Structure 1
Amino acid sequence: MLLKDFIPAPEVQDVVQLYRIVHLQFPKEQTAPSKAYPPRPEQCLAFYPYDTETVVYQNSGKKVEHLPVVLYGQFTEVTNRIIGNNFLVFQIIFHPGALFRLTGIPSTELTNQYMDAGLIFSSQLKLVNEQLAAAKDYKEMVQIADVFVQQLIKQQRKQRMHIDDACLLLLNSEGKFSLDKLSKAACLSSKQLERKFKERTGVNPKLFERIIRFDKVFRYKNSNPQFDWLRIAVACDYHDYQHLVKEYKDFTGFTPVVFHEIENKAPERAFGLAEGYYK
């Protein structure tokens, strides 16, 4: 079983942050547990060559299912993912702004959307999914994805701009860049920055910064379950534990303790795996 991040080929690293493969198999007579999927600073193209997953939005109860290839934008709420017994997802995690450049579609139209990727990309998706299903190993899957993304780049709709670099700066700095610094990096006024930033990420810079920091603390706790919450809050740049509690309630509806009790029942936990840091 596997939960691992892979580095893309140099030719596609301008648009792809990483590939993530999650491969879990449960006995046919066993119902796989669901996964509470929290907000994270990601826009993703996900292939399901075997069983697909059912996604239920925590806030609205909206359900989406039976999609072999999915595109989803920036999420700001929890979705509950219900997987099949033979589950493999190959995720292409894009850099902030890259999906906008590839498709020309404002990312605000993709925020909190878990949708059929065929509505955006060509019928080639079906072939790629079939190739992933037939791949002899994970290394070959990564090679298939590299070739596919190179083809996307050749059809790119928008050119890279300073704002794309600013979005990436915020992500790579773990949210520690001020808005003034971002504006200067993007060569834009603060109002222009916010408009173009939302166009490329789906949310404003401040909310994106909060999601980056929340994702950091979520993974930090998974990687260091022995650490107490105050230590984790300080290590991840929260003012105090109560500040961390507020963020968890805003993004998940639960306190950190309760949400990680739910996280400890996620499907990958049955195999001793956890979403931590895999770079």
Structure 2
Amino acid sequence: MVFQDFLPSPALREYVSIFRLVHFTFGAADSIPFKPYPPRAEQYLAFYPRDTEAVHYPGRHEKIANTRSALVGQHDVVTDRYIGKDFLVFQVVFQAGALFRLTGVPAHELNNTYMDAEAIFGNSIKEVNARLTSTDRYEEMTVLIENFLLQQIRRSKMERHAIDGVAHQIVKTNSLTSLDALANTACLSSRQFERKFMERMGVTPKYFSRIARFAEAYRIKNSYPDKDWLSIALQCGYYDYQ
């Protein structure tokens, strides 16, 4: 079993927050339960060099399955994930605003989506998928994925915006100051700030902050299952419990 978060090479850190590698293998007779996947304040690209996963959204009958690489937008719903006997996923978790810079696709168009990445990146990612399936070495997978990302960065013509830094701070601190203060930081009016924030993050600043705070509370509970929810809520800034 492998569950590892690690930093990308320095050349990628303006665009990539973290690499997340997960590899589970199960016996033929093992029954594998689905895993609820809660929303996080992030957008990511996922590669599946072995068995893929099936994703079920609430209120939908069908599952999304057999995607060798997936582009996952900002979510605000819990999805159920079903995996195979040899499950390996290599996630590229983007820095705030980086996916918009790389693709030019407004982030709100990707909200609650799990789409085949080949529809966006075409043959270049199709080739990466093929090469990933032919290696068992995590280090080689990392090199293949980093080279692909560097290629996409060289093609990108969009600069980092002040809003990206604001969103990064929201995720880092799990808090939100006044909209006017944030807009001033980005040198925009409140209306312009909210519109451009949605274009780059997919949701409003306030909602983005709520997702980030919820994700942090969920992470703490996973890490410290014996910790009570009230303590976690207070630690994460949930004070209105009357």
- Report the TM-score range of the alignment, normalised by the length of the smaller protein: over 0.9
Number of residue-to-residue matches in the alignment:
242
State the distance in 1 between where 2:181 and 2:59 align. Answer: 35
SS of structure 2 residue aligned to 1:134: coil
Aligned partners of 1:40, 1:203: CA distance in 2, in Å? 12
Distance 1:170 1:20 in 2: 21
Partner AA of 1:145 in structure 2: I
1:40 and 1:212 in contact (8 A); partners too: yes
Matched ranges for 1:71-150 at <5 A: 71-150=71-150
The alignment's C-alpha RMSD in Å is 1.6
Matched residue SS, 2:170 = helix
Deviation at 1:233? 1.0
Alignment-derived partner of residue 211 in structure 2? 211
- Change in 2 beyond 3 A, CA 1:182/1:61: farther
| Structure 2 unpaired stretches of 5+ | none
Specify the code of the residue in structure 1 equivalent to 2:220.
Y
Q: 1:103 touches 1:157 (CA, 8 Å); kept in 2?
A: no
Query: What is the identity percentage for the equivalent residue pairs of Structure 1 and Structure 2?
Result: 46
Assess if the C-alpha contact under 8 Å between 1:48 and 1:88 holds in 2: yes
In 2, the alpha carbon distance for the partners of 1:26 and 1:151 equals 35
Task: For 1:53 and 1:136, locate their aligned partners in 2 and report how far apart those are by CA, in whole Å.
Answer: 19
Counterpart of 1:67 in 2: which secondary structure?
coil
User: Contact 1:46/1:71 (CA < 8 Å) preserved in 2?
Assistant: yes
- Distance in 2, matches of 1:93 and 1:62, equals 26
Superposed displacement of residue 172, structure 1: 2.1
* CA distance in structure 1 between the aligned counterparts of 2:189 and 2:169, rounded to whole angstroms: 17
**SS where residue 121 of structure 2 aligns?**
coil
Which residue of structure 2 aligns with residue 8 of structure 1?
8
Structure 1 unmatched runs, 5+: 244-279
Q: Distance in 1 between matches of 2:62 and 2:178?
A: 36
**Is 1:52 aligned to 2:57, yes or no?**
no
TM-score with structure 2 setting the length: 0.94
Aligned to 2:179: 179
Q: Which runs of 4+ in 1 moved over 3 A?
A: 59-62
Per-residue displacement from partner, 1:156-204 (whole Å, max 9, x unpaired)?
A: 1422222222222222222344323321221111111110000001111
Q: Structure 2: how far apart are the matches of 1:165 and 1:132?
A: 33
3-state SS of 1:30 partner: coil
Supply the distance in 2 between the matched residues of 1:230 and 1:169 (Cα, whole angstroms).
25
Q: In terms of mean alpha carbon deviation, does 119-128 or 90-99 score higher?
A: 119-128
Give the TM-score taking structure 1 as reference length.
0.82
